[in-house]
Amino acid sequence: MSLAKFGNITNFEEKACFVKKFFLELYQGEIELFRSPSKHYRTRAEFSFYHYNDKLDYAMFDPKNKKKFIVKDIDFPDKKICDFMPILLEKIKANLNLKEKLFGVEFLATKQDLSATLLYHKDVELIYSDLSKLSSNLNCNLIARSKKKKIVFKNENLTQKLQIQNKEMLYEFNNDCFIQPNTFINEKMITWVNENLALQNKKDLLELYCGYGNFTLALANNFRKVLATEISKNNINFALKNCKLNNITNIDFVRLSSEELSSALKKERKFFRLKNLNLDHFDFSHTLVDPPRAGLDKSVIDVIKKYDNIIYISCNPISLKENLKILDQTHKISKMAIFDQFVNTPHLECGVFLTKK
Ligand SMILES: C[S@@+](CC[C@H](N)C(=O)[O-])C[C@H]1O[C@@H](n2cnc3c(N)ncnc32)[C@H](O)[C@@H]1O
């Protein structure tokens, strides 16, 4: 089956059917399906602007005919974003300083909060007072950016509350963090991992690509100790903060790329960032990976295949399959799920539990 064919499917039932066949040579068991609501599912939404005559509208880019089109009455972003978009547009249209050289906006919504980041092709400090007035008239976090400049009005951080089984987890992050784009599906993914972990023997967890602790915090009480790593300093700073917010004391968050972590575990290189940790004191029964679309490289696969249990969360079935073919030499897939994280697009999220053969 070709990558091109997979790229055409957007309906979830058809995507699920395709994925079952796609992974059949590696896994013949049941695949659990998690559907998303069909409206207001997107946590983050980005738009450009269409300036014509004296008018202004939200716009999106159509990659097929390489043209912008005006966006009206859309229902895929979070309801808070949809309700807020016309209010913001009217206020910008009424002020020439705010309107001129505005080329984009990024919205981010949690269950509680909303932020809007305005993107300008001019120095945002020149319109500071207009932006400040706009911010005081709006019920959201407002951020304005231009080349090398960022002004934050109110607060840049958003809070999120996730319901994971009978527990409410608290998170804080900002627009620069990696954020799972569908909150409903995010809760389902973490819950699915948690429920399946409940059935297994557990010691310590090694997590790679941990972000701001989205999975880490909710899974930590399954384990004696957790070592969670990630490349972005911003994500790690929020992960450390989120640990305190939830009163969790058994996680060590360390800023390390997956490549750095593998050389630290192989004792090829010493890291100052690991000076307070003795890696030999961990007894990893599980490893959790949630890599970017490219999947895992050979050095990371060499690290994770040492452990008895691997949990692999993937936003790209193609790289997932490539990686699973290698892991198939040492591990067997015991559970698999498909999550409709990216509704009405060819993309989808997979979750896989593997155990050592
Ligand atoms: C798909 S996201 C998953 C984040 C997190 N698990 C979550 O659910 O929010 C992948 C994460 O990997 C991080 N990342 C990208 N390349 C990396 C690398 N080479 N080593 C470690 N982390 C990396 C990104 O910063 C991002 O936070």
10 and 79 together in one domain: no
56 and 122 together in one domain: yes
What is the average pLDDT across 256-284?
94
pLDDT in tens, 105-151: 999 999 999 999 999 999 999 999 999 999 999 988 999 999 999 99
Q: Is residue 163 part of a domain?
A: no
Q: Is the CB of 290 under 6 A from ligand 1?
A: yes
257 and 278 together in one domain: yes
Q: Is the CB of 181 under 6 A from ligand 1?
A: no
32 and 55 together in one domain: no
Q: Is the CB of 50 under 6 A from ligand 1?
A: no
220 and 328 together in one domain: yes
Q: 62 pLDDT band (50/70/90 cuts)?
A: confident
Considering only CA atoms, which residue is closest to atom 13 of ligand 1? 209
* Test site for ligand 1: of 162, 176, 186, 209, most ligand atoms within 8 A of the Cβ: 209
SS (HEC) of the chain: CCHHHHHHCCCHHHHHHHHHHHCCCCCCCCEEEECCCCCCCECEEEEEEEEECCEEEEEEEECCCCEEEECCCCCCECHHHHHHHHHHHHHHHCCHHHHCCEEEEEEEECCCCEEEEEEECCCHHHHHHHHHHHHHCCCCEEEEEECCEEEEECCCCEEEEEEECCEEEEEEECCCCCCCCCHHHHHHHHHHHHHHHCCCCCCEEEEECCCCCHHHHHHHHHCCCEEEEECCHHHHHHHHHHHHHCCCCCEEEEECCHHHHHHHHCCCCCCHHHCCCCHHHCCEEEEEECCCCCCCCHHHHHHHCCCCEEEEEECCHHHHHHHHHHHCCCEEEEEEEEECCCCCCCCCEEEEEEEEC
Q: 1 pLDDT band (50/70/90 cuts)?
A: very low
Q: Is residue 117 part of a domain?
A: yes
Q: Is residue 171 part of a domain?
A: no
333 and 211 together in one domain: yes
Domain range for residue 139? 44-158
Residue 183 Cα, ligand 1 centroid: separation in angstroms?
Answer: 17
186 and 239 together in one domain: yes
Residue 290 Cα, ligand 1 centroid: separation in angstroms?
Answer: 7
pLDDT in tens, 318-343: 999 999 999 999 999 999 999 999 88
144 and 67 together in one domain: yes
Q: Is residue 175 part of a domain?
A: no
CATH number of the domain where residue 30 is located: 3.40.50.150
Residue 192 Cα, ligand 1 centroid: separation in angstroms?
Answer: 20
228 and 328 together in one domain: yes
Ligand 1 atom, smallest distance to 257 CA: 20
Counted domains in the chain:
2
pLDDT in tens, 174-215: 999 999 999 999 999 999 999 999 989 999 999 999 999 999
- Ligand-binding site membership of 290 (annotated): yes
Q: Is the CB of 230 under 6 A from ligand 1?
A: yes
Q: Is residue 10 part of a domain?
A: yes
